[in-house]
């Protein structure tokens, strides 16, 4: 697992008040987090919060730990707080949108992911998630628009080419769909005989 770092759009530093044990817990949590051991980091972040550390970064870190563990309801609690405090922060919107996506909350996920500014490239994978969501809702035109944007950002990702094929086939654009499927299978041969259903 790759080490984790603080997103560009977040404030850095630890300026909050808190007891020394809470600060030590925060420091230990950050060390585990940056080493990629999010499971071990999470209890330290919770201990720091309980001890009085209240800056927004720690909620982000703990939310990411919950995401990594698949604890989406807990992650949603942290990211809800963050978005309410900074409703225009694109990183927070993306993370809350992703949690909604994982929880099957399509309307909420689309709302959040669509609010991320188009020129915010750090979370460009959102176009793929939006394509999947629109496809499942039967809005193939919107799905195609989103998957085309995803392809401009990730032109060598086979899953995106494959999903482009699924969307194009649903629109009866069969020549373009076949080309997308062929491209996907050239990048990843395992997709050659895959069932032509949308991939998450």
Same domain, yes or no, for 105 and 163? no
pTM of the model: 0.84
pLDDT at 11 over 70: no
Same domain, yes or no, for 114 and 139? no
pLDDT at 134 over 80: yes
Same domain, yes or no, for 101 and 33? yes
Q: What do you get for the CA distance between the two ends of the chain, in Å? A: 21
Give the range of the structural domain holding residue 166, as residue numbers without chain letter.
130-200
Same domain, yes or no, for 91 and 180? no
Same domain, yes or no, for 88 and 134? no
Report which of residues 134 and 55 the model is more confident about: 134
pLDDT tens for 75-90 read: 999 999 999 999 999 9
Tell me the average pLDDT across 86-103.
Answer: 96
pLDDT at 159 over 90: yes
pLDDT tens for 12-70 read: 444 444 458 999 999 999 999 999 999 999 999 999 999 988 888 999 999 999 999 99
């Amino acid at each position: 697992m790759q080490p984790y770092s603080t997103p560009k759009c977040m404030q850095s530093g630890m300026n909050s008040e808190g007891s020394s044990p809470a600060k030590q817990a925060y420091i230990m949590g950050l060390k585990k987090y940056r080493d990629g051991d999010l499971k071990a980091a999470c209890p330290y972040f919770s201990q720091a919060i309980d001890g009085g550390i209240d800056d927004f970064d720690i909620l982000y870190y703990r939310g990411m730990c919950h995401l990594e563990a698949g604890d989406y309801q807990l992650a949603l609690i942290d990211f809800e707080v963050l978005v309410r405090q900074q409703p225009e922060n694109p990183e927070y919107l993306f993370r809350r949108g992703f949690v909604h996506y994982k929880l099957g909350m399509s309307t909420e996920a689309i709302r959040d992911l669509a609010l991320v500014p188009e020129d915010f490239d750090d979370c460009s994978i959102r176009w793929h998630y939006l394509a999947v969501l629109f496809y499942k809702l039967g809005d193939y035109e919107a799905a195609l628009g989103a998957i085309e944007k995803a392809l401009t950002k990730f032109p060598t990702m086979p899953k995106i080419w494959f999903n482009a094929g699924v969307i194009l086939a649903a629109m009866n654009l069969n020549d373009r769909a076949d080309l997308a499927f062929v491209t996907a299978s050239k990048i990843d041969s395992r997709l050659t005989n895959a069932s032509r259903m949308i991939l998450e």
